[in-house]
Amino acid sequence: MKINNLLVVFFLLAIFSFQAVFAQDKINQYNADGKRIGVWKKFYPNKRIRYQGQFIDGKEVGTFKYYSALSSEHPTAIKTFLTDEHKAKVQFFTEKGVLKSSGEMIGKERIGKWLYYHEDGKTILAEENYQNGILNGVSNTFYKTGKITESSYYVQGKLHGNLKRYADNGVLLDDLNYKNGKLHGAAKYYNIDGKLIFWGDYENDEKVGKWEFVDDEKQ
């Protein structure tokens, strides 16, 4: 009786092993309409995995992981596709698995707010806004302490409007204005103590009119 039981166990194990191998082989499949279905895996010429994810009727669904040709230890990008939309939540990483940036994409174009991180993968280095893959809206950068470094505004990829730069102690250093990517309008420059030392106007990236400065030696 014990021998019969062992034979049954071995038989079942053999079936499960066959099914597992068979399931692993069923990747990179197409349906009757020639659209990708099921699990897909692609590899680099050096046999390292390039990406892995799942398709339904030719559309990416769920989580896709992308890897560098140099290492398969950590994904360099993870995309989570939303079933009812064309966009995906995306994270980019270093080859060591440290988070570099995160946001949303439609195809290869960034949309909405994106966050960029310092080397620790946690502290925010910058926040930018995109429209159809182009910078559009508020853009800020930060010191590791969290204090702001620079605040600016973009319209269709070009600086437009006010730009301010700060020292790491929070003191305002530059107060500038841009139009279509060029310095245009009032400009003020301050020293590290926050004292106004140089000011005037720009027009199409060139200084115009009267510029004034403070001569500290005369005070």
- What's the whole-number mean pLDDT along residues 152-163? 98
pLDDT class for 126, splitting at 50, 70, 90?
very high
Q: How far apart are the first and last CA of the chain?
A: 107
**Higher pLDDT among residues 184 and 12, named by residue:** 184
In a domain? residue 189? yes
Q: Domain tally for the chain?
A: 1
Task: Decide if pLDDT at 36 tops 70.
Answer: yes
Write down the H helix ranges in the chain: 2-25
In a domain? residue 103? yes
In a domain? residue 7? no
In a domain? residue 24? no
- What's the whole-number mean pLDDT along residues 19-32? 69
Strand partners, 138: 153
Q: How far apart are CA 155 and CA 174, in angstroms?
A: 20
In a domain? residue 65? yes
Q: Lowest-confidence range among 12-16, 87-91, 146-150?
A: 12-16
Which one-letter DSSP state was computed for residue 78?
A: E
Which one-letter DSSP state was computed for residue 159?
A: E
pLDDT class for 215, splitting at 50, 70, 90?
confident
- What's the whole-number mean pLDDT along residues 58-67? 96
pLDDT of amino acid 134: 98
- pLDDT tens per residue, range 3-12: 555 444 444 4
The owner of tokens 């950590």 is: 74
Q: What Å distances lie between residue 83 and 25, 30, 51, 80, 91, CA to CA?
A: 26, 19, 19, 9, 18
pLDDT of amino acid 186: 98
Give the domain range for residue 155.
Answer: 30-218
**Higher pLDDT among residues 24 and 71, named by residue:** 71
Q: How far apart are CA 197 and CA 186, in angstroms?
A: 14
- pLDDT tens per residue, range 89-115: 999 999 999 999 999 999 999 999 999
In a domain? residue 191? yes
Q: How far apart are CA 131 and CA 156, in angstroms?
A: 8
pLDDT class for 84, splitting at 50, 70, 90?
low
- What's the whole-number mean pLDDT along residues 186-211? 97
pLDDT of amino acid 17: 44
pLDDT of amino acid 83: 72
**Structure tokens belonging to residue 142:** 């930060």
Work out the burial of residue 53: count CB atoms within 10 Å of its CB; fewer than 13 is exposed, 13-18 middle, 19 or more buried.
Answer: buried
In a domain? residue 184? yes
In a domain? residue 126? yes
